[in-house]
Amino acid sequence: MSGRSSLLVPLALAAMVWLPLQVAARDTTNLAQTLSPDVQDWVKGLKGINSLSCCDDADGIDPEWQMQASGYRVRFRGEWLRVEPGAVLNEPNRLGVARAWIGFTADTRPYVRCFLPGPSI
């Protein structure tokens, strides 16, 4: 196998792992298409941990979530993820539903980049 060919296999494998992870964190409710332009701009301006942008649109997920004494948790792919305090957006929710933006560590573990709590039930 040539040097160039031997690089193709690891790259193909990485793409097979990376692409499904990116798709899984996308909005399946099509919320972004229903937002007014001013709310879309508001969402685009949301900042989470270290003042990093949460998203380019309302492309987060509509998560199952819980508030506990220790903070928020979000369910993603059957696993409860702890929401770090710096990821919680503490401003009025103009979407009316909870939203979580999921990121992935270098070793593909999911974490909550930003979390906008929804109305309490």
* pLDDT digit string, tens, across residues 107-121: 999 999 999 998 765
Both tokens assigned to 6: 């031997």
Q: pLDDT-derived band of residue 83, with 50, 70 and 90 as boundaries?
A: very high
Residue 120 backbone phi and psi in degrees, to 5: -70, 145
Q: pLDDT-derived band of residue 81, with 50, 70 and 90 as boundaries?
A: very high
Report whether pLDDT(45) > 80.
yes
How far, in whole angstroms, is CA 100 from its chain's centroid?
Answer: 5
Supply the DSSP symbol for 114.
E
Residue 84 is predicted with a pLDDT of: 93
Taking alpha carbons only, the member of 29, 18, 88, 35 closest to residue 60 is: 29
Give Cβ neighbours of residue 121 (< 8 Å, ≥ 6 apart).
none
Residue 39 is predicted with a pLDDT of: 85
Report whether 79 contacts 110 (CB < 8 A): yes
